[in-house]
Amino acid sequence: EIVMTQSPATLSVSPGERATLSCRASQRVGSNLAWYQQKPGQAPRLLIYGASTRATGIPARFSGSGSGTEFTLTISSLQSEDFAVYYCQQYNNWWTFGQGTKVEIK
Amino acid sequence: EVQVVESGGGLIQPGGSLRLSCAASGFTVSTNHMSWVRQAPGKGLEWVSVIYSAGSTFYADSVKGRFTISRDNSKNTLYLQMNSLRAEDTAVYFCARGGESHSFDYWGQGTLVTVSS
């Protein structure tokens, strides 16, 4: 099983600031990496797939990068609606998720 | 508009059985790969099972031999039959559509399964 490790567990950021979230895979997954946003009581929402392609309707302030084992999600200027938990997911070998990074208001 | 709606969750005793349903609209279940993903209370996401468009099915080791994924093409609905339920199966179960990239592009709102005596 490919283990996905996200850091940090919690990120405290002020509105308008940049947020950088990291995800590491225990094996190479190429670009088969997605990012999801989840708010309390809601389903996850696909943000990024293919490591760097924004899903339909996702604002340009969300960007993804990386390949192989190291990946990054960047939110360029945090809006109030962006405070949530973010998960990375590999789909190179079945599907496994990271444990999540909670982005909270500083 | 693409939509998936889960139902069938509830409180069940250990060892019991439950069948979850996922009704889809705006797309055809049988031409997409469809997965179940679960989330234990306060925890992260765990992939449970997939059914591919060709009909092949696969399961996470944690549920293999106990859960069965299926679909009814005439009803455009996905199912998850859960047998021999354990306390550790307690979770919100989400139905998700596999996108072209094999990430999950549409999710339902989830249905809560609680296994407890």
CB contact under 8 A, A89 and B35: no
Which residues in chain B have their CB less than 8 angstroms from residue A88's CB? none
Please compute the mean of the pLDDT values over residues B52-79 and round it to a whole number: 97
Determine the pLDDT at residue A52.
Answer: 97
Backbone torsion region of residue B63, taken as left when φ is above 0, otherwise alpha when ψ lies between -120 and 50, otherwise beta: alpha
Q: Which of B46, B47, B99 sits opposite A49 (nearest CB)?
A: B99
- Average confidence (pLDDT) over B40-58: 97
Strands B111-115 and B10-12: parallel
pLDDT at B100: 76
Query: Which of residues B99 and A69 earns the better pLDDT score?
Result: A69
What one-character DSSP code corresponds to residue B22? E
Average pLDDT of the residues in B44-51: 98
* pLDDT > 70 fraction of chain A, expressed in percent and rounded: 100
Asked if B105 is an interface residue toward chain A (Cβ–Cβ < 8 A), one would say yes
pLDDT by residue (tens digit) across A25-51? 999 999 999 999 999 999 999 999 999
How far apart are the CA of B16 and the nearest CA of chain A, in angstroms?
26
Label residue B101 by pLDDT band (50, 70, 90): confident
